[in-house]
A and B are shown apart, each in its own frame.
Chain A
Amino acid sequence: MKREERRFDAALHACLEAIRGGASSEEALEPFADLRDELRPLLWAADEVRTLPTMPEGLRHQMRKELEALARELDGGPSAGAPPTGSSGLDSGGAGPWTLILATGLALGTAAAGYGFLQYGPGGPIGGLLPQVSETATTTPMRPAPAENGTGDDALQRGTASPSDIGGVAPAEATAAADARADREDADRNGDELIQTSPDDAAAPDRAPIGSPSPAAQAARSPAGTSGVPARDASASPTPWRAADSGTDRRAATPLRAPTDAPPERPPATTGLPTTAPGRRGATPSTDPATPTPEWIVESGFTGLSGTARDEQGNPLADAVVLAYRMDGVGPWLIDSDADGAWRLDLPPGDYQLRVRWESPSGGSARNPIAVRDGWYRGASQRRNAQVLSVAEGSALARIVLEASP
């Protein structure tokens, strides 16, 4: 090998290892100024492979459940019932004659909830059918189960994921002061009464006062919100919220709590927004002074979610797409934010994960001219870490700040 080639290979390898260790491409290229222009496109090419899509969340989650079930079925785990492997003792995938049937079990209307289910062997118990493994054996790959009846069999039914199992929930975090400030600015802009939701607010008497709605405002409340429909039905998509067009009096918000010194309430660790529990309106303040602050309030008058879309600097994102994914797989519902980044989604009651996505035709890199920002509520980069919000009939979680990052 020529000396220059060797040097180039070494530089390329060093850059790739630096990136593997978490460095950016430009950081990795820094020590190799004379080779930078030649190396950079190769690093980009490697990045294309590195950023290949991962498995869809619903399938990934269902696959984990099935594998854990298999581990459990193996008489206490993987060590029991497993057959001897090849002579090396490190059998590496010379698979046995498994019959793995994936009953997709999906009715089209229940999308993500119904991924695969495994059956092992032709109807027998799992543990007793573990095959011998040999290097020459072939694998019968998991395949969608025949569904002669058009809907699948029992396995199909059992393979339906619980909505609560799809998508993890980010733990409730401590007060996000920036978002609280954003809420205050939002309220100032819209002339709304502000519901005090943060310890900062509680300690700052000059901040917007918290008050229960006036009797007039109470009387003005009306169930103007209509149930949303999935975005695929464009004709019935929810309309974006705008200050002027709302059929509800946003001042008629139901405060989470009276303006006392009581500590802010906190959403439960899972989805649990106590304000939206069935049959409840308004919240019960937490008695735990250390509880973090919710980043939303409850409003009556429509059923759904509303808030603002912003970038990581707090700038409003106009024409961002806000998507609400119901946990049973129906949807998503979507709406564009207005010029101030405000949005409102009228939704049927249920549990949702919120995402914001914004694309700009300029502002991206030379290679990818479209700048894309994306994010899940609250502050998650992936759906599985997104917090779940519950929507109850007749009330809405409002002033949700959705932040999208590059």
Chain B
Amino acid sequence: MTRSQEDSGAPRELIERARQGEERAFGELYEAYVDRVYRYVLFRVRRESTAHDLTQDVFINVLRGLPRLQDLERFEGWLMRIAHNMVVNHWRRSKARPQTISGSGSSDDEHDDPLARLADASSEIDPWERADRSMKLQSIGRASEQLTDLQVEVLGLRFGSGLSLAETAGIVGRSEDAVKKLQRRALRALQRAFDGQASS
């Protein structure tokens, strides 16, 4: 799926059908947005097993809250606000900041849980893809450690979930100009971090 297709989002009619309780429509809605939610959450929590859990929690909350969503045009922003809140709640509960990003096979604290390891180890991902994912996650995880939380938030919303500048500004509570500035600084920091990895 190209970005433009992805950004087109779900048609209003689909959202309406899901709101009316059509289970298949909700499934389609999930398919339309799960990648964006997952990428955003993964970029923020930097751990795949946690990202899986939080992504499901996000959609459960969408299922519960959808009947009261008045303006369907606001669906994407509303969805990502839920995702944002889920991440914040996760940090509050765990009183932890994100650690180095990790994919399958990591040996960090959370993966000391044998069931978490089992879940990851039993993924259908083949060895090549698993290696690709692991390398990518490690690389971007180390790079994002050079960013502030707000910068990570902005990059996650803008590029992980594909939100517009205005939608992002609404979620982080800043003006669009401020978000522009933030994204520029964040991208520069990320680029410097990648350059540092390449030269090290």
Which residue of A16, A118, A323, A325 has the most chain B CB atoms within 10 A of its CB atom?
Answer: A16
Q: What's the minimum C-beta distance from A315 to chain B, rounded to whole angstroms?
A: 21
Chain A residues with CB under 8 A of B122: 104, 106, 108, 110-112, 114, 329
**Who on chain B is nearest to A133 by CB?**
B64
A10 to B52, CA, bound (A): 35
| B149 contacts partner chain A, Cβ-Cβ < 8 Å | no
Contacts of A181 in B (CB 8 A): none
Cα-based distance from A393 to B160 in the complex (angstroms)? 45
Q: Across the interface, do B165 and A13 meet the contact criterion of CB distance under 8 Å?
A: yes
- Residues of chain A with a CB closer than 8 A to B133's CB: 53
Which residues of chain B in 121-174 are interfacial with respect to chain A, using CB atoms and an 8 Å cutoff?
121-128, 132-133, 136-137, 139-140, 143, 155-156, 158-160, 162, 165
Residues of chain A contacted by B128 (CB below 8 angstroms): 321, 323, 357
Interface residues of A in 140-155 (CB under 8 A from B): 141-147
A191 located at the interface, meaning its Cβ lies under 8 Å from any Cβ of chain B in the complex? no
Interface membership of chain A positions 76-103, coded 1 if the CB is closer than 8 angstroms to chain B and 0 otherwise: 1111101111000111111110101010
Residue of B7, B18, B26, B90 with most chain A CB atoms under a 10 A cut-off: B26
Residues of B within 8 Å of A22, CB to CB, are: 2-5
For the complex, give the distance between the alpha carbons of A185 and B192 in Å. 50
Tell me if A48 and B190 are in contact (CB < 8 A). Answer: yes
Q: Tell whether, in the assembled complex, residue A42 and residue B121 are in contact, meaning their CB atoms are under 8 Å apart.
A: no
Given contacts A46-B187, A56-B123, contact A141 B85 (CB under 8 A): no
User: A2-26 vs B: 1/0 string, CB under 8 Å?
Assistant: 0001001110110010011110000
Q: Is residue A59 contacting chain B, with contact meaning CB distance below 8 A?
A: yes
- The answer on a CB contact under 8 Å between A95 and B61 is yes
A142 contacts which of B42, B56, B160, B165 (Cβ < 8 Å)?
A: B56
Whether a CB of chain A sits under 8 angstroms from the CB of B10 is no
* Interchain CB contact under 8 A, A141 and B54: yes
Q: Is B200 engaged at the interface, CB distance under 8 Å to the other chain?
A: no
B35 pairs with A54, CB closer than 8 A: yes
Q: Distance in Å from the Cβ of A100 to the closest Cβ of chain B? A: 7
Is the CB–CB distance between A112 and B34 below 8 Å?
no
CA distance A112 to B137 in the complex (A): 21
CA distance A8 to B181 in the complex (A): 10
Complex CA distance for A69 and B184, rounded to whole angstroms: 43
Q: Determine whether the beta carbon of A64 is less than 8 Å from that of B30.
A: yes
Q: Does A280 contact B (CB under 8 A)?
A: no
* Cβ-based interface call for B23 (8 A): yes
Query: A53-73 toward B: CB 8 Å interface, digit per residue (1/0)?
Result: 111111110011111111110
Is A16 within 8 A of B56, CB to CB?
A: no
Beta-carbon contact of B43 and A80 below 8 Å: no
A74 contacts the other chain (CB 8 A): yes
Q: Given A93-B86, A104-B122, A147-B115, A141–B53 Cβ distance below 8 Å? A: yes
Residues in B whose Cβ lies below 8 Å from that of A76 = 21
By secondary structure, the B interface counts as: helix
> If the complex has contacts A52-B136, A95-B57, are A20 and B65 also in contact, measured as CB distance less than 8 A?
no
Q: Does A298 contact B (CB under 8 A)?
A: no
Q: Is B27 among interface residues, defined by CB-CB distance under 8 A? A: yes
B156: chain A residues at CB < 8 Å are 49
Report whether A9 and B184 are in contact in the complex, using a CB–CB cutoff of 8 Å: yes
Is A144 in contact with B20, judged by CB distance below 8 angstroms?
no
A41: CB under 8 A from chain B?
A: yes
A95 nearest CB across to chain B (Å): 6
Contact residue among B61, B190, B194 (Cβ-Cβ distance under 8 Å from A93): B61
CA of A84 to CA of B19, assembled, Å:
15
B residues near A65, Cβ cutoff 8 Å: 27
Assess whether A256 is interfacial by the CB under 8 Å rule: no
**Out of A72, A104, A332, which one reaches B118, CB within 8 Å?**
A104
A139 CB to nearest chain B CB (Å): 6
A20-B23 contact given A144-B113, A325-B126, CB 8 Å threshold: no
A67 in contact with B184 (CB, 8 Å): no
A138 is an interface residue with CB less than 8 A from chain B: yes
CA distance A139 to B53 in the complex (A): 11
B108 within 8 Å of A (CB atoms): no
Q: Is the CB of A112 within 8 A of B123?
A: yes
**B70: chain A residues within 8 A (beta carbon):** 89-90
Chain A: CB-nearest residue to B159: A49
- Chain A residues with CB under 8 Å of B57's CB are 93, 95, 98, 100, 139, 141-142
Within 8 A of A (CB), among B11-37: 18-24, 26-27, 30-31, 34-35
Q: Is the CB of A8 within 8 A of B184?
A: yes
Collect the chain B residues with CB atoms within 8 Å of residue A92's CB. Answer: 65, 78, 81-82, 84-85
> How far is A357 from B136 in the complex, measured between Cα atoms in Å?
18
Besides A90-B69, A93-B89, 17 new A-B residue pairs in contact (Cβ under 8 A), listed by A number: A16-B159, A42-B187, A49-B158, A49-B160, A50-B159, A55-B38, A65-B27, A71-B23, A80-B21, A90-B65, A95-B60, A104-B119, A111-B122, A139-B89, A144-B115, A144-B118, A166-B124
Q: List 15 A-B contacts (CB under 8 A).
A: A42-B191, A46-B155, A49-B160, A67-B59, A70-B63, A82-B65, A90-B68, A91-B65, A92-B65, A93-B82, A93-B86, A95-B57, A100-B53, A115-B119, A323-B126
Question: Which 5 interchain pairs have the tightest Cβ spacing?
Answer: A77-B21, A112-B124, A22-B4, A93-B85, A93-B82
